[in-house]
């Protein structure tokens, strides 16, 4: 069981994509096991199975052994193909046996965030290869020269489009001093979901660097809206951050403009102290960037020839613009 309750909360929020990945692995494993069982069954075993399927009436009129011979249970496979299938089954069983541990990674001392995610997803990459091997062997299309390396662990960068669409979600425990958000951009593709559980002091707005038009980005203190991360059809990155950090959500479905997609619920003051290798200036730039991205384009008109007021929040802009229109029309103050 995860020691940090936030890890358990993140896994619970990611239940749907976790279940989808497990279903694909479990389905491939069942089919592979069935193929091996059918391929290795003796004539006597096949006849017995046919007899059960034909029932008592057929038992009096049909030779079950001859009937079973007419319909071989599986397409014959070469020894090297069966050996590859056995290895694929071991990979799929190992992935299944990991349980929730497959979806949790920890950034340990001396290791970087990006390398930790790469290593965790490489195990899943081997599962994708095992699924493909199972299909190739069952379909009689396995060729050792072309397909043997599919069982090697493969990093996310080597995954194809289909694999990235069904990539498993990942919960990553990381110290705030090691939260180099730029490393996360390597995994923003397909439907990959990464939730960071941040420990200790951390930069106040690290995930602002991950805001792109098609990526769901969330910084939350209490885990609010994590279920939206799980349900988003594209890539998503979230962080459970300590109190005092910025909280915001960038939802690509909310509009065409950045200010429409970005909702900032708390903007902290500019930091004054470094955190790990992050200087106060660097972290302050992230906070300023978050404020800039969230600023709406509304500007209040000024007097003829004068400059407009700077852009302000949407609600304030509506109120000020309404007042300006009333003043300009001469209606203000009348009954």
- pLDDT tens digits, one per residue of 260-286: 999 999 999 999 999 999 999 999 999
Q: Give the mean pLDDT of 195-211.
A: 97
Beta sheet of 216-220, edge-to-edge order = 104-106, 170-175, 193-199, 236-240, 216-220, 247-250, 262-266
Beta pairing partners, 236: 193, 216
Task: Supply the DSSP symbol for 322.
Answer: H
273: exposed, middle or buried (C-beta count within 10 Å: 0-12, 13-18, 19+)?
exposed
The C-alpha atoms of residue 250 and residue 237 are separated, in whole angstroms, by 10
Q: Where are the domains of the chain?
A: 298-335
CA triple 146-147-152, angle to 5 deg: 125
Residue 15 is encoded by which pair of tokens?
């239940």
Residues 322, 263, 230, 233: is their CA dihedral positive or negative?
A: positive
- Least confident among 19-23, 132-136, 289-293, 328-332: 328-332
pLDDT at residue number 54? 47
pLDDT at residue number 49? 47
H helix or E strand, kind and range, residue 120 = helix 113-138
Per residue in 205-264, pLDDT (tens digit) is: 999 999 999 999 999 999 989 999 999 999 999 999 999 999 999 999 999 999 999 999
Residue 3 CB neighbours (<10 A): 7
Quote the pTM value: 0.78
pLDDT above 80 for 153: no
Q: Are 290 and 270 in contact (CB under 8 A)?
A: no
- Least confident among 106-110, 150-154, 330-334: 330-334
Q: Give the mean pLDDT of 137-160.
A: 84
């Amino acid at each position: 069981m995860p020691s940090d309750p936030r890890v358990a909360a993140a896994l619970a929020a990611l239940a749907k994509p976790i279940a989808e990945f497990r279903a694909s692995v479990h389905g491939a494993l069942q089919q592979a096991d069935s193929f091996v069982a059918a391929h290795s069954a003796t004539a006597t075993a096949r006849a017995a199975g046919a007899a059960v399927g034909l029932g008592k009436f057929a038992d009096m009129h049909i030779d079950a052994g001859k009937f079973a011979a007419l319909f071989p249970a599986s397409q014959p496979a070469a020894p090297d193909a069966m050996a590859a299938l056995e290895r694929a089954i071991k990979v799929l069983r190992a992935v299944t046996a990991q349980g929730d541990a497959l979806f949790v990674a920890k950034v340990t001392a001396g290791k970087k965030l990006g390398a930790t995610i790469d290593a965790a997803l490489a195990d899943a990459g081997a599962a994708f290869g095992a699924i493909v091997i199972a299909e190739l062997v069952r379909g009689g299309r396995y060729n050792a020269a072309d397909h043997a390396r599919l069982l090697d662990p493969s990093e996310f960068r080597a995954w194809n489009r289909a694999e990235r669409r069904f990539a498993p979600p990942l919960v990553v425990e990381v110290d705030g001093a090691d939260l180099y958000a730029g490393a996360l951009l390597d995994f923003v593709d397909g439907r990959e979901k990464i939730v960071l559980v941040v420990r200790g002091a951390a930069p106040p707005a690290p995930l602002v660097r991950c805001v792109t038009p098609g990526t769901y980005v969330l910084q939350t203190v209490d885990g609010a809206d994590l279920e939206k991360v799980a349900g988003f059809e594209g890539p998503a990155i979230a962080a459970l951050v300590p109190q005092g950090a910025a909280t915001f959500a960038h939802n690509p479905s909310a509009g065409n403009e950045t200010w429409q997609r970005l909702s900032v619920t708390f903007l902290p003051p500019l930091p004054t102290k470094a955190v790990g290798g992050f200087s106060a200036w660097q972290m302050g730039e992230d906070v300023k960037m978050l404020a800039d991205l969230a600023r709406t384009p509304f500007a209040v008109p000024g007097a003829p020839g004068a400059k407009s007021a700077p852009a302000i929040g949407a609600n304030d802009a509506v109120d000020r613009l309404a007042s300006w229109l009333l003043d300009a029309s001469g209606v203000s103050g009348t009954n």
